[in-house]
């Protein structure tokens, strides 16, 4: 027995203890990933380029879409969106659901992925230590999370939690105020149980979580509030939670309000992705809002996504954020 105890397997001299934290292992043991702000330079995203599932949509409303889509045009616009990210120096990864093989689960009815898988942001929320995998609120989107979970694992991203039980959580209902503070919203897509699970994990990481409620008619927190820089947030009056605005102002943010609700509804002008401080990628066709952003010192890159918008989501919804440049804030 004494000889055995001298071996590394039993704690002998050759034993190598794992003393680094998970965060310290990112980029080594684990793939490069991590997000702790909404505005730091964007480094990597996860997208899904829709396949034959769009042609299978017979009733747009039943699929939670707003109007029939021209599938070919939607894919062309998605390709242009991906290229816009690459042109901005952002690495683009794809969900690649075909790699999952045939859908051999009880809920599966076809061999194609669900039609809303294009909206990757709803299925995950990235933290500095890895991802929280969501649990969509509707039966139409049930199971989409498994495709994203598989791809995150393939990319070496730690999956810190999958929302479970009767909890529902969509990643677009959580936003980083700063690396120490996050907003989590409840509403139609994220229920109290799901929010509590997400908040519990974030608090284990030392993050202060501020929970807010969304008004009836607001789909996600993302659709009511965006961040363009460390001290600049943009909100939709009448939809953004009052408490969220107060919290941001208390933390030194200037909060400005979009000038045209029509463009926000029809053109999803607020559903942008921040490429870096005061640099955003937004939907084309929103001249009033774009001029408003530019007057605020925000550089706007635009891409045509009007066909994708018919599926009830914009650029922000379609973009799973994998990595932003780390920032040190006290």
**Mean pLDDT for all residues in the chain:** 94
| Nearest-angstrom CA–CA distance, 284 and 28 | 39
What is the number of residues in the chain? Answer: 330
Q: Dump pLDDT digits (tens) for 17-59.
A: 999 999 999 999 999 999 999 999 999 999 999 999 999 999 9
Which position has the higher pLDDT, 159 or 55? 159
Burial 120-137 (b: 16+ CB within 10 A, else e): bbbbbbbbbbbbbbbbbb
Which position has the higher pLDDT, 317 or 102? 317
Per the DSSP assignment, residues forming a β-bridge with 303 are 283
Tell me whether strands 232-235 and 225-229 are parallel, antiparallel or unpaired.
Answer: antiparallel
Of all residues in the chain, the percent with pLDDT exceeding 90 is 92
Burial of 188 (0-12, 13-18, 19+ CB in 10 A): middle
pLDDT of residue 245: 98
CA nearest to 35, candidates 326, 329, 330, 233: 326
pLDDT of residue 329: 64
* CB contact set of 248 (below 8 Å; sequence gap of 6+): 177, 233, 255
In the chain, the domains with their CATH numbers are: 18-222+314-324 (3.75.10.10)
pLDDT of residue 111: 63
pLDDT of residue 101: 47
Which position has the higher pLDDT, 268 or 328? 268
pLDDT of residue 106: 42
pLDDT category at 113 given cuts 50, 70, 90 is: confident
Per the DSSP assignment, residues forming a β-bridge with 93 are 46
Query: Phi first, then psi: what are they for 245, rounded to 5°?
Result: -65, -45
pLDDT of residue 103: 46
Alpha-helical segments (H) within the chain: 2-5, 22-25, 71-87, 144-154, 192-204, 242-250, 261-266, 287-295, 306-309
For tokens 């009830």, the residue is: 312
* CB contact set of 61 (below 8 Å; sequence gap of 6+): none
Look at residue 109 and tell me whether its pLDDT is greater than 90. Answer: no
Mean pLDDT, rounded, for 236-252: 97
Look at residue 100 and tell me whether its pLDDT is greater than 90. Answer: no
């Amino acid at each position: 027995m004494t000889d055995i105890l001298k071996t590394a397997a039993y704690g002998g001299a050759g034993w190598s203890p794992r003393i680094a934290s998970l965060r310290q292992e990112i980029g080594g043991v684990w793939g490069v990933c991590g997000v702790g702000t909404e505005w730091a330079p964007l480094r990597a995203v996860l997208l899904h380029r829709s396949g034959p599932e769009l042609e299978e949509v017979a009733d747009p409303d039943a699929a939670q879409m707003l109007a029939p889509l021209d599938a070919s045009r939607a894919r062309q616009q998605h390709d242009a969106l991906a290229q816009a990210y690459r042109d901005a120096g952002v690495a683009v990864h794809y969900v690649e659901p075909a790699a999952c093989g045939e859908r051999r689960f009880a809920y599966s009815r076809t061999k194609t992925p669900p039609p809303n898988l294009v909206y990757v942001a709803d299925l995950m929320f990235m933290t500095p230590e890895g991802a929280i995998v969501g649990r969509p609120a509707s039966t139409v989107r049930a199971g989409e999370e498994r495709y994203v979970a598989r791809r995150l694992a393939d990319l070496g991203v730690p999956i810190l939690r999958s929302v479970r039980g009767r909890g529902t959580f969509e990643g677009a209902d959580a936003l980083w105020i700063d690396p120490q503070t996050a907003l989590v919203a409840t509403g139609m897509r994220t229920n109290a149980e799901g929010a509590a699970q997400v908040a519990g994990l974030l608090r284990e990481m030392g993050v202060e979580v501020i929970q807010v409620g969304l008004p009836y008619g607001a789909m996600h927190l993302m659709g009511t509030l965006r961040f363009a820089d460390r001290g600049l947030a943009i909100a939709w009056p009448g939809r953004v939670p009052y408490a969220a605005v107060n919290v941001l102002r208390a933390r030194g943010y200037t909060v400005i309000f979009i000038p045209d609700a029509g463009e926000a509804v029809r053109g999803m002008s607020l559903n942008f992705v921040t490429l870096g401080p005061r640099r955003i990628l937004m939907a084309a066709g929103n001249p009033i809002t774009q001029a408003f952003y530019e007057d605020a010192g925000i550089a706007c890159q635009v891409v045509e996504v009007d066909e994708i918008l018919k599926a009830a989501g914009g650029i922000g919804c379609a973009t799973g954020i994998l990595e932003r440049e780390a920032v040190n804030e006290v």
